[in-house]
Amino acid sequence: GAVVSQHPSRVICKSGTSVKIECRSLDFQATTMFWYRQFPKQSLMLMATSNEGSKATYEQGVEKDKFLINHASLTLSTLTVTSAHPEDSSFYICSAQNDRGHSGANVLTFGAGSRLTVL
Amino acid sequence: GEDVEQSLFLSVREGDSSVINCTYTDSSSTYLYWYKQEPGAGLQLLTYIFSNMDMKQDQRLTVLLNKKDKHLSLRIADTQTGDSAIYFCAERNSGYALNFGKGTSLLVTP
């Protein structure tokens, strides 16, 4: 089945540094990927839609300069948290749209998530 | 997540059936989904249903959709301890992203 690989799974960084999270679709091409953020015991909040070859579309309230998204190829999207602060600590999950075998259901395949802790 | 509502917690005994309920607000949603999340992991697609269907069954899973009431349910038959997880209901928005509920934490006791 479709697999989305997300790396790193866990990262701890100092306040003020930048952290890059990678999201790869391993056996399918994904022109569209989505980045979500999940706080403890909360739902997933959509941060942005990553479009291959064009600028990402950010949801209201998400700072585009803080959360840089690059989707340079059909299998890779990256999220860079710039000048990280403790309040950025969260679980970040990417997903890629994969229609293969689902007859147009626009099924999203999710990565395993990246736990960011900012000290 | 505010447009999709779920009860937050459900506890069942092993072998019983579990029913997780969800209400959504976007009547134009063409597909509705159920995802499962185990601790510290990403989301695993369990099943989805097209909006013109009333029911879909897949092994131990049965999805019921009441489009008039915008109500979706997931029934897990013969619930096992390995089914303990958080279950998310989701609707697809116009931009093809998914709007999720807050998740229902299912606890299966022996």
Residue A46: pLDDT above 60? yes
- Contact yes or no for A106 and B31 at CB 8 A: yes
Residue of chain B minimizing CA distance to A3: B44
pLDDT band per the 50, 70, 90 thresholds, residue B92? confident
As a whole number of angstroms, the distance between CA A98 and CA A25 comes to 9
pLDDT band per the 50, 70, 90 thresholds, residue A107? confident
Quick: pLDDT tens for B49-69.
998 899 999 999 999 999 999
Beta-ladder partners of A96: A33, A109
CA distances B94 to A15, B27, B28, B83, B98, Å, are 36, 11, 9, 31, 9
Q: What is the pLDDT of residue B75?
A: 98
- Surface-to-core class of residue A41, CB atoms within 10 Å of its CB (0-12 exposed, 13-18 middle, 19+ buried): exposed
Query: Of B42, B50, B96, which is closest to A97 when you measure between CB atoms?
Result: B96
CA distance B50 to chain A (A): 8
Mutate to test the interface with B, among A37, A108, A114, A116 (most CBs of B within 10 A): A108
Mean confidence (pLDDT) of chain A:
90
Q: Is B82 helix (H, G, I), strand (E, B) or coil?
A: helix
Pairing of strands B104-109, B9-13: parallel
CA distance B16 to chain A (A): 25
A39 has a chain B CB within 8 A of its CB: no
Residue of chain B minimizing CA distance to A4: B42
> DSSP code of B67?
T
Q: What is the pLDDT of residue A52?
A: 87
As a whole number of angstroms, the distance between CA B64 and CA A69 comes to 37
pLDDT band per the 50, 70, 90 thresholds, residue B27? confident
- Contact yes or no for B96 and A43 at CB 8 A: no
Residue A119: pLDDT above 60? yes
